[in-house]
Copies of this chain bind each other. A is one copy, B any other.
């Protein structure tokens, strides 16, 4: 895969530079290294701050979800690498409006260690923090080890709902509870068709033969649950949805939100084929789609593939999901 880049070592800093040049009305740097970015209007007095973070290479994740009704700040790591605790701490200070800060991020070891360190630093400043780790990837660990699961595209629902709760003035306890309830009600499963190439390393994150796909792949190329011959869009949709429905124990008459996510190189057209099958299968089971999202929400550079995410809704989650939100990458 050929890349439109300059010096690979400058990749992330130049991407951040481009983002800040394009969106100065909505994003600003909260540290000298510019690896901590916050809403342009941060801090919002009296409002719970939400800080996320993670490696680069996943746009719109993570920094695409900083905005009104979403996260308030983000720490930006190198490609597929955790940001530092210092940058998480800088973002924390910059978004602290006096109501505390929620750390809401994908469940990866490096991110967890660094966010825990950042929480200790914030504590010394008397900024109360809470932590909710996103664990939506149903194929990354069995149900009995659900807290070990990775966070993938389901993060969008967690950001959306926690962000709406913070925006309406909920307390840190309440925002954290809603974020955790969203995570507990969200499952994702994905399929990879081609690997991605890290700008600095210049080599593929994994190998897949011609005509082969990998079910359960992670957004950094982590191994999935099985490999097999490439199937049709309908078959892939059926496989992914079956995992999710089984794990969520969804019943008839429930309402859900569905997100069909492209991993980078898969055309939007193909994502709509997946959505079509998921929608019709849910309908057959008496499950209604309250709100669909189809597009690229959490990518892995130029990986080909897709994931399906389902969120079980209740009245409160529905109201928060439907609330307005606005970032350079997400408007509703």
Q: B-contacting residues of A (Cβ < 8 Å)?
A: 1-6, 11, 14-15, 17-19, 21-23, 56-57, 59-60, 191, 193-194, 210-211, 213, 230, 232-234, 236, 264-270, 272-276, 279-280, 292, 294-296, 299, 301-302, 304-306, 329, 331-332
Main secondary structure of the interface of A (DSSP, over half): mixed
A11-B304 contact, Cβ under 8 Å, with A4-B233, A274-B4:
no
State whether B21 touches A276 (Cβ < 8 A): yes
- With a cutoff of 8 Å between Cβ atoms, the chain B residues found around residue A295 in the complex are 329
Residues of B within 8 A of A306 (CB): 4
In the complex, what's the smallest C-beta–C-beta distance from A4 to chain B, in angstroms? 4
Q: Is the CB of B2 within 8 A of A304?
A: yes
Q: Are B301 and A267 in contact (CB-based, < 8 A)?
A: yes
- Can you list 6 A-B contacts with CB-CB less than 8 angstroms, sorted by A residue number? A4-B266, A6-B273, A15-B273, A18-B273, A22-B272, A267-B302
In whole angstroms, what is the CA distance A150 to B212 when docked? 37
Separation of A269 and B19 alpha carbons in the complex (Å): 9
Chain B residues positioned under 8 Å from A21 (CB to CB) = 275-276, 279-280, 292
- When distances are taken between beta carbons in the complex, the residues of chain B under 8 Å from A60 are 268
Given contacts A2-B194, A232-B5, contact A14 B273 (CB under 8 A): yes
What is the minimal beta-carbon distance from A280 to any residue of chain B, in angstroms? 7
In the complex, the answer to whether B22 meets A304 with C-beta atoms within 8 Å is no
Are A302 and B232 in touch, CB under 8 angstroms? Answer: no
Q: A6 and B193: CB pair below 8 A?
A: no
Known contacts A267-B264, A269-B301, A273-B15: A233-B5 contact under CB 8 Å: yes
The 4 closest A-B CB pairs, nearest first, are A18-B272, A18-B276, A265-B265, A59-B268
Instruction: Provide the bound-state CA to CA distance between A304 and B273, in Å.
Output: 21
Which B residues touch A15, using CB under 8 A?
Answer: 269, 272-273, 276
Smallest distance from the beta carbon of A233 to chain B beta carbons, Å? 5
Q: Which of B11, B264, B270, B292 contacts A22 (CB 8 A)?
A: B292
- Chain B residues with CB below 8 A from A4, complex form: 191, 193, 232-233, 236, 266, 270, 273-274, 305-306
Alpha-carbon gap, A206 to B248, bound state (A): 45
- Please tell me if the beta carbons of A232 and B6 are within 8 angstroms of each other in the complex: yes
Q: Which residue of B lies closest to A5 (CB)?
A: B233
CA distance A273 to B301 in the complex (A): 14
Shortest CB distance A265–B (Å): 4
Minimum Cβ distance to chain B for residue A291 (Å): 10
Contact between B56 and A276, CB atoms less than 8 A apart? no
A3 touching B270 by the CB < 8 A rule? yes
8 Å CB contact of A302 from B5, B273, B304: B304
Please measure, in the bound complex, the distance between the C-alpha atom of A13 and the C-alpha atom of B299, giving whole angstroms. 27
**B268-A265 in contact (CB<8A):** no
Provide the residues of chain B in CB contact with A305, threshold 8 Å. Answer: 4
Find out whether the CB atom of A233 lies under 8 angstroms from the CB atom of B59: no
Across the interface, which residues of B come within 8 angstroms of A276, CB to CB?
Answer: 14-15, 17-18, 21
CA distance A301 to B262 in the complex (A): 13
- In the bound complex, what is the Cα–Cα distance between A56 and B273 (angstroms)? 14
